[in-house]
Structures are given as structure tokens and as C-alpha cells.
Amino acid sequence: MDILHVLWLNLQTPMILAFLLGIIATRLKSDLRFPDGMYTGLTIYLLLAIGLKGGVKLSLAPLSQVWLPALMAFALCIVIPVAAFVILRNLGKFDAVNAAAIAAHYGSVSAVTFSEAQAFLDSQGIAYEGFMPSLLAIMEIPAIMVALFLVRARGHKGAGLGNTAHELFAGKGTLLLVGGLAIGLISGKKGFEQFAPLFDTPFRGVLVLFLLEVGIVTGRRLADLKHAGIFLVLFGILFPLLSAAAALPLAKLCGLSYGGAMIFATLAASASYIAAPSAIRLALPEASPAYYLTASLAITFPFNVAVGLPLYLTAARTLYGV
């Protein structure tokens, strides 16, 4: 009953309800649209806010608490895309290009799912380590490079790894996260007092707006599910559960609190739909967006924010005996 109660509470949060409203609006063929550029503006705000607040918390955390979780996060970035690629190739019978494209998305992370996990824990008064955004930044890029290496090892030639690396490291997602972390780390607690009125208090309100837009975009992609096939639908639900199950004991081994373990599991279970798509479009232009975008945005993202978060929290509580 505990997990059902947590699930019900999660479904009543404004963020989830806004996401569902966006899907409903699309399915009703409503004229609800965000102004051009607003989605980009909201993305910039959220990524910079996550980085700034994480940098401040990182400045207060001793290195001894951070290095092992960071190392485990990096290790997951290697293991997850390799596992996804093997499963997609051998069980899903995907060609190497599409298997690598999907694996890149699942090896990378979703900043919005991360933000929703934080908001979910905050709403229940559950504490977690403040340096978790640094793990988000660490996990965004390596898995994409691993997935591209896997497909190139099979003789595929596409955009050079150098061009792809530039696209990843110079992309707005990476710059905003890493740059925000650096600003918060350098400016510290005193600096936080200067930007808190803009980047702290309004954060959840902006997240509601962003999830409304994501709901609209997701609603448009639901029709692509018929092209994805039952295997990809099952993969988009079961593989995140497998990734989260692998991450939880590692989180405990690292000494994270059960709230931090839940966020760590959420990062492992999430699928990118900001950084990975832009890199894949450049490096693997022949890969089908009907596969990788539908899987990450129309299957895994809704599953994680609606059902996955309560599951990961319940699993963390069970593991920690809370």
C-alpha cells in the first residue's frame, strides 16, 4: 500500500498534472501552443538553475563525499549504453546504427526527470545530497560517446567523433550545467543569496510550464508508437527499471542517503531528449527519430515521472530499511 500511496501523491503534483494537460490538449487538437523560443528559454532557465544551485551545494560538500559517487556515475555511463546496445541488437534485432542511437539516449540523462525527482523528494520533505547536479553533469556526455564508438567499431562511418564531441561539449545543455556549477561553486553561499530570488523560489513554477510544453510535444509523438513496435515499448519501460536496480546498491555503497540513492537511480533510469538527439542527428543522421525520440520522450519520460519515481523511492526505502 505504501507504493500505491506514494504513486497517488505523485500523480497529484502540479508538474505531473501539467504534463498530462499538455498530452490531453494535443489529443483534443487544441490550439494551445507555446510562443516560438519559449521552450528554449525555459530550457536555459532550468539547466542554469540546476547548475547554479548544485554548484553552491557542491562548494559546501567535502571532496571525500563526492569523488566515489562521481566515479560510480561515470562507470554507469559506460555500462548502461553497452548493455542497451547488446539488448537492442540481440533481442530487439535493431541494426547497429539505430541500436547505438537508442543506447546513447538511455546512457545519457534527462535534466527534467532529474528536476522532477528533486521536486518529488522536496514535496515529501526527504533530504538528499546537494551535489547531485554534479552527477547529472558528469553523466550527460560519456554514454553518447560510448554508443558512437560501439557503432564505429562495426565499420560505420559518419560525422567525425571530433565534430560530435564539439557538438556535445559546446552544446547549450553542457555549457549551462557545467557553467552553472562553476558559477555556483566559485560564488558559494554568498553568491546564492544574490541569485536565489530568480533561480530558487520560482524554479518549480517554471518546471510546471516546461512540463506542460513537454506534454504537448509528447502528445504529438504518441502516434509514433505504432512504428516503434512492442519490443521498443517494453524496452522503454523495463530497461530503466533494470538501470535503476543496478544504480541503487551502488548508491548505498557510495554512502549516499536514501534520498540521494533515489535520485541516483532516477538518473540511471532516465533517457536524454536534449543533449543526445542533437548529437545523434549530427553523428548518425540515418538513425530513425521514430525510434530514439519516441522511446525516450513518449515512453520512458512519462513512465519515469508518473510511475518510476515512486517505484525508485520505495526501492530505496526498502534497500535502506527506512
Position 98 scores a pLDDT of: 93
pLDDT of 72 above 80? yes
Q: What is residue 92's DSSP assignment? A: S
Query: pLDDT category, 150, cuts 50, 70, 90?
Result: confident
Query: CA-CA distance, 20 to 9, in Å (whole number)?
Result: 15
pLDDT above 90 as % of the chain: 55
Query: pLDDT category, 309, cuts 50, 70, 90?
Result: very high
Query: pLDDT category, 161, cuts 50, 70, 90?
Result: low
Question: Within 13 A of 224's CA, how many CA atoms are on the CB side?
Answer: 18
Section 95-114 average pLDDT = 94
pLDDT above 70 as % of the chain: 95
Position 1 scores a pLDDT of: 47
Position 156 scores a pLDDT of: 61
- Which phi-psi region, left, alpha or beta, contains residue 29 (left: φ > 0; alpha: ψ -120 to 50)? left
Mean pLDDT is lowest, of 151-160, 182-191, 306-315, for: 151-160
Give pTM, 2 decimals.
Answer: 0.88
Q: What are phi and psi of 321, to 5 degrees?
A: 70, 35
- Amino acid at the residue 221: R
